[in-house]
Chains A and B, each alone.
Chain A
């Protein structure tokens, strides 16, 4: 259900469109997207086995490539669904970074900043949530924890849904506790919080108050039903894949349909140092099925036009295949998929060299990527906040919007 603010914004946009005599594609791209879904490939997906295959090269391994709907663009053979939809998405093959440790790399790929002592940068989830201050749902992370809200504050912390099956836990009042009893509890609790906060160190108390209020808001939200994917038909479940990732993608679609502004979907298992090819093959098929169904449904409902879908992970993996038949961490090259929200589709940005040992064309750094996402999502990339120690922190440090995509 749209909130007043949304109605206002969309109303104005419609009037603006009417006055300008048309609502064309370039105009649509200037309106911030309403939602973002990030599919996070935990552990670092091999670009060789997904979006940048090198069959026949010494570094290519046994992975085969297939043609896609875009001339000259080939994906690994385990991505037939995405290959058939390549004209609706964009691939950046030249993402390059320096963080080769999982935790540090995830922090970078979720905040746009390398970890620095003393500052906790907000994750993209919190930045997007902050653009929608009146919404009654927080950003959601499915299966794996997303990034914390850092400087943006606990009100915009992601809600972690570990198990995408079934309704949200503990979101209904205990039996016998009706509206009046709840109101009494809430009124007394608020008074207790206020009293306790007086004269005491504020951050932990104010943060706790915010988080509990968020929970109570969610209990009353008409969006709560969106958390329950058991309301979907078996046919739909099957189309997304009969696994946790499929369920996660389906839940992400339901949440975005209901107006949740940011959903992070984790797919774990990509840290394939050993027996890499069998494992990445299975993972790629899982990814292909879930993400294809998600893109199809968003397109069918018209939500793809205002929903940014991004697929990325910790880092890429080495051209060298190690003695255990796996690939190790390789931040120097990785591939990122983007779709929806006016992102130009059927586009490939950048390239690696023939053996995938380095970026050969159009190096893209993480701040470029974040500046592009911020632009699409209506996040002010140049906003400066003060850290608790008084250091100015810019939302995105440097970087340029990828003009090939927007």
Chain B
């Protein structure tokens, strides 16, 4: 099991779900967003309340839920989602041997308490803040991730993290919260900063109003957009020295946002001055350099702040959010009941990310099998209603970490696990690049031909299937003599489940025809590693 974080507080089991009130009021509909509205209406409840809302959603969608997922498949799913890798066979054995009735909750709590989970969350959050863009300088990316990791280890709430990111100032090493402002706000790109802040923290798409009134929301005008830009109008972000990892972010006492005039360069509007405003509502600023603090207050207090984070987290765990796209949430449509209930809990729990993850991962919705009887249409209808688990491709980091689990079979020391794989820096870079580089190629999550070729013939996979050595396949062959036992161990290592009878027979026939040579086992492992079952979470 992953190492435990010292002094960790257990995620609180507080579910402020409003069974009756959640679907009543048209939140965000018509009236301007109220900072205090969300916490005020929250009522603590139990996980049962969340499940009741989920079941109500299934009834409304007219679907029968898929059966409950079995224990081993649950552990694999949660491990990929929370730690970014498949479980080791030792973890699987320990979990299945746990006689406690609440062993799922205990396993989830162990994962949430681990540094490995904080690291994984920091990786995901870095991507959210800085984007997937390959051109973000590595020191900025690494620094942001290291800073976030510490914040998540300390269990700081998402509101505190957001506040620090939005108000970061002074001369800061790359290990700091300034990565966001620096990545998006260089060369005084205040419009990009405003647009990215709204996207990241509110799930709102406002940047099209840079050039014209919002097409989907006529109430959000171009002037309102520049009112948001005005919060950053006094912010300067630049490296302290050329090529330096040190960043200086300052707020000056002067500087205004202006409306663009015809013929203005996109980043240098010269029209009338626009004061800071929050979706068109004027905002009082207490000091000449206080604009970003006011923005952070408005951001964190907005109902969309929690809603956007919860929706995004749900989308990470189910492959799709309650509202899609997660970066363009409507402000004036009432949100679905489950989303709103979870958002209220999130606020009531001081924006505790682990408590949110725990609530969702232990919910009935997350606990559905990915397989169920029925026509393709009925399967898609269930998946769309979160009543059957989706099949989600895993990302490059999860592939690398999971290959390391396979190649490291025989050890449970994470530092040793797949150490040889991790030394292959060039091959790792190629894999990350090939997976980051599929822009447009795989809207459907089916991957790209270069990825498929790499996973069949690439250096990392060749290393992971090697039968020589003390780890991985070598360990499996050394520990078991009987071909059937070897097949069981191999399938269990890769899929976190025993083989079916038909699978075992098919693989044994292949091995027999090849005289049970080690090379035949390598071929079996290669087939397993390029299969959808290994390369997806399900």
| A, B: real partners | yes
A interface with B by C-beta (< 8 Å): 100-101, 120, 123, 138, 145-150, 153-154, 157-160, 162, 168-174, 176-177, 181, 184-189, 191-193, 195-212, 214-216, 218-219, 273, 320, 322-324, 326, 328
* CB contact under 8 A between A169 and B453, given known A204-B393, A207-B445, A324-B265: yes
CA–CA, A273 to B532, complex, Å? 45
**Cβ-closest chain A residue relative to B207:** A101
B25 at the interface (CB under 8 A from A): no
Contact, CB under 8 Å: B388 / A201: yes
The reply to whether A200 and B530 contact each other, CB–CB distance below 8 Å, is no
Residues A200 and B371 in contact, CB atoms below 8 Å apart: yes
> Is A100's CB under 8 angstroms from B211's CB?
yes
Measured CB to CB, the closest approach of chain A to B304, in angstroms, equals: 19
Of B391, B451, B527, the contact of A204 (CB 8 Å cutoff): B391
Kindly identify, within residues 489 to 538 of chain B, every residue whose CB is under 8 Å from any CB belonging to chain A. 500, 502-503, 506-507, 510, 514, 519-520, 523-524, 526-528, 530-533, 535-536, 538
The verdict on A204 contacting B392 (CB below 8 Å), with A160-B437, A195-B503 known, is yes
Looking at B123-131, B272-280, B375-383, the stretch in contact with chain A turns out to be B375-383
Tell which of B374, B438, B532 touches A196, judged by Cβ atoms closer than 8 Å. Answer: B532
With beta carbons under 8 angstroms apart, the residue of A169, A193, A208, A211 that contacts B430 is A169
Nearest A residue (CB) for B373: A199
* Cβ-based interface call for B6 (8 A): no
A214 touches B452 (CB 8 A): yes
Known: A160-B437, A195-B503, A211-B447. 10 other contacts (CB 8 A): A145-B440, A171-B453, A171-B457, A173-B456, A176-B519, A188-B524, A192-B527, A200-B379, A273-B266, A324-B265
| Known contacts A145-B437, A158-B441, A202 near B376 by CB under 8 Å | yes
The answer to whether B531 and A154 have CB atoms under 8 Å apart is no
Q: List 25 A-B contacts (CB under 8 A).
A: A120-B443, A145-B439, A147-B440, A148-B443, A154-B442, A157-B446, A169-B450, A170-B456, A174-B457, A185-B523, A192-B531, A199-B372, A201-B390, A202-B376, A204-B445, A206-B446, A207-B442, A208-B445, A211-B447, A212-B447, A212-B530, A215-B453, A218-B453, A219-B457, A273-B265
Q: Is B3 an interface residue (CB 8 A)?
A: no
Bound-state Cα–Cα, A114 to B442, Å? 19
| Contact (A322, B265) CB under 8 Å given A170-B456, A200-B538 | yes
Scoring A169, A193, A212, A324 by chain B CB atoms within 10 A of each residue's CB, the highest score goes to: A212
Within 8 A of A (CB), among B79-120: none
Separation in Å of the A168 CB from the closest CB of chain B?
8
Residues of B near A188 (CB, < 8 A) are 506-507, 510, 523-524, 527
**A169 neighbours in B (Cβ, 8 Å):** 430, 450, 453-454
Say whether, besides A170-B454, A174-B457, A189 and B445 are in contact (CB < 8 Å). Answer: no
Query: Please, which residues of chain B bring their CB within 8 A of the CB of A324?
Result: 265
Q: Which of A101, A160, A193, A219 contacts B532 (CB 8 A)?
A: A193
* In the complex, chain B residues whose CB is within 8 Å of the CB of A170: 450, 453-454, 456-458
Per-position binary interface string of chain B over residues 442-472, scored 1 when its CB falls under 8 Å from any chain A CB and 0 otherwise: 1111111111111011100010000000000
Question: Is B268 engaged at the interface, CB distance under 8 Å to the other chain?
Answer: yes
Q: Does B167 contact A (CB under 8 A)?
A: no
Q: B370 at interface (Cβ–Cβ under 8 A)? A: yes
Q: How many angstroms between the C-alpha atoms of A209 and B502 in the bound complex?
A: 21
- Note all chain B residues with C-beta closer than 8 A to A193: 531-532
* A124 CB, nearest partner CB in chain B, Å: 13
CB distance from B66 to the nearest CB of A (A): 9
Q: For A162, list chain B residues within 8 Å (CB).
A: 437
Chain B 352-403 residues near chain A, CB threshold 8 A: 370-374, 376, 379-380, 383, 388, 390-393
* Alpha-carbon distance A169/B266, docked complex (angstroms): 40
Chain B residues near A219: list those with CB within 8 A: 453, 457
Given A157-B442, A158-B441, decide whether A208 and B371 contact each other with a Cβ distance below 8 A: no
| Bound form: Cα–Cα A189–B528 in Å | 7
Q: Which of B383, B391, B527 is the one whose CB lies under 8 Å from A205?
A: B391
Interface residues of B (CB under 8 A from A): 208, 211, 263, 265-266, 268, 370-374, 376, 379-380, 383, 388, 390-393, 430, 437-454, 456-458, 462, 500, 502-503, 506-507, 510, 514, 519-520, 523-524, 526-528, 530-533, 535-536, 538
Alpha-carbon separation in the docked complex, A160 to B538 (Å): 28
Q: How far is the CA of A101 from the CA of B524 in the complex (A)?
A: 49
**A-B pairs with the 6 shortest C-beta distances?**
A207-B446, A215-B452, A188-B527, A199-B371, A170-B453, A154-B446
Q: Please tell me if the beta carbons of A189 and B449 are within 8 angstroms of each other in the complex.
A: no
C-alpha spacing A162/B436, complex, angstroms: 12
Give the residue name and chain of the A residue nearest to B451 (CB).
Answer: A211
CB-defined contacts of B527 to chain A, threshold 8 Å:
184-186, 188-189, 192
Chain B residues contacting A212 (CB-CB under 8 Å) are: 447, 452, 456, 530
Knowing A120-B443, A145-B441, the reply to whether A159 touches B448 (Cβ < 8 A) is: yes
Please name the residue on chain B nearest to A190 by beta carbon: B527
Return chain B residues, CB-CB under 8 Å to A154.
Answer: 442, 444, 446-447
Name which residue of chain B comes closest to A215, CB basis.
B452
A172 touches B457 (CB 8 A): yes
Chain A, residue nearest B66 (CB):
A199
B454 adjacent to A157 (CB under 8 Å): no
Q: Which chain A positions have C-beta within 8 A of B391?
A: 200-201, 204-205
Shortest distance from the beta carbon of B131 to any chain A beta carbon, whole Å: 13
Which chain A residue shows the least CB distance to B529? A189
Q: Give chain B residues whose Cβ lies under 8 Å from the Cβ of A195.
A: 500, 502-503
Cβ contact within 8 Å between A203 and B449: no
Closest to B452 in A: A215
Decide if B438 touches A160 in the complex (CB within 8 Å): yes
Chain B hits for A145, CB < 8 A: 437-441
Question: Contact between A157 and B523 (Cβ–Cβ < 8 Å)?
Answer: no
Determine if B379 and A201 form an interchain contact, defined as CB atoms under 8 angstroms apart: yes
Nearest chain A CB to B261 CB, angstrom units: 12
Q: Inside 8 A of B451's CB, which chain A residues have their CB?
A: 211
A157 to B372, CA, bound (A): 30
Chain B nearest CB: distance from A165 CB in Å? 15
B454 x A204 contact (CB < 8 A): no
B376 and chain A: residue at smallest CB distance: A202
In the complex, the answer to whether B379 meets A148 with C-beta atoms within 8 Å is no
Residues from chain A with a CB closer than 8 A to the CB of B458 are 170
**Contact partners of A207 in chain B: CB under 8 A:** 442, 444-447
Are A174 and B462 in contact, CB atoms less than 8 angstroms apart?
Answer: yes
- Assess A157 versus B266: contact at CB under 8 Å? Given A172-B457, A188-B524, A198-B371: no
Q: Say yes or no: B393 contacts A157, CB within 8 Å.
A: no
- CB contacts (< 8 Å) of B370 on chain A: these are 200-201
> What CA separation (Å) do A324 and B370 show in the bound complex?
56
Query: Are A185 and B442 in touch, CB under 8 angstroms?
Result: no
